Amino acid sequence: MTSRKKTRYTGVHRARSRTRAGFREMVYTPYIQVGIGGMYFNSKGKYDGKWYALKPLCTEGQTLVPTRKKYSSVQFTVPLGVGFRIKVAKAWEVGLEYSQWITFTDYIDDCSTTYFDENALLQSKGQLAVDMANPAIDDVPGMPLYMSTRPGQQRGDPRDNDHMIGLFFTVCYSITEGYTPKLRF
């Protein structure tokens, strides 16, 4: 009679799969995740081959008029996700995870409301701010986008906050399988 060593992997599901050598036990773990998080962002735009931070340029007139408030670069997030891990060998696991981060800002891309008056932006922040606020290349008579990006016209949608999504494939190697540290307080 042969004895098989049981895997010390708790809270998981087990399935048997057929291989050439017979059956082998696969350990898999489906999971969901919900949490609270934080993030810092610094939107940038490229102009003449150089990257510029957009927040100091006030591309939508933030702080230049009372109705346009300055936005914070530090925000809370709510990460949500689902995933699946499979133990493929004694110390190896592979996994696939889909995650989405709900944010509470619409300025991750520095675009939320409407186009701001170019003359007011030029006087307050300079030509770079004007060019970064409206980088439309077709804004010449006869072109399709001519007159489509004028002050007061929609640039973003402030009713719909930004969010991020990600799809992750992971490969994990457990260095110390079965080791549980003793907590001492």
Q: What distance in Å separates the CA atoms of residue 177 and residue 8, rounded to the nearest whole number?
A: 8
pLDDT value, residue 9: 44
Percent of the chain with pLDDT over 70: 76
Q: Write the DSSP assignment of 30-79 as a string of letters.
A: EEEEE--EEEE---EEEETTEEEESGGGTTT-TTTSTTSPPPPSEEEEEE
Give pLDDT tens digits for 120-143.
898 999 999 988 888 776 666 777
Which of 74, 72, 70, 51 has the alpha carbon at shortest distance from 61? 70
How distant is the alpha carbon of residue 1 from its chain centre?
54
pLDDT averaged over the chain? Answer: 82
Query: Angle at CA 10, nearest 5°, toward 17 and 3?
Result: 60
pLDDT over threshold 80, residue 63: yes
Confidence bin at 75 (pLDDT 50/70/90): very high
pLDDT over threshold 60, residue 167: yes
Give pLDDT tens digits for 2-48.
444 444 444 555 555 555 555 556 688 899 999 999 999 999 999 88
Largest CA distance in the chain: 88
Q: Fill in the DSSP letter of residue 114.
A: B
Which of 8, 5, 173, 11 has the alpha carbon at shortest distance from 92? 173
Q: Which two tokens stand for residue 123?
A: 């006087």
Q: What are the start-end ranges of the H helices in the chain?
A: 118-125, 127-133
How much is the pTM?
Answer: 0.67
Q: What phi and psi, each to the nearest 5 degrees, are found at residue 23?
A: -95, 145
Give pLDDT tens digits for 85-95.
998 888 889 99
Percent of the chain with pLDDT over 90: 41
Mean per-residue pLDDT for 62-68?
Answer: 88
Q: Fill in the DSSP letter of residue 154.
A: B
Match 């981060």 to its residue by tokens.
Answer: 101
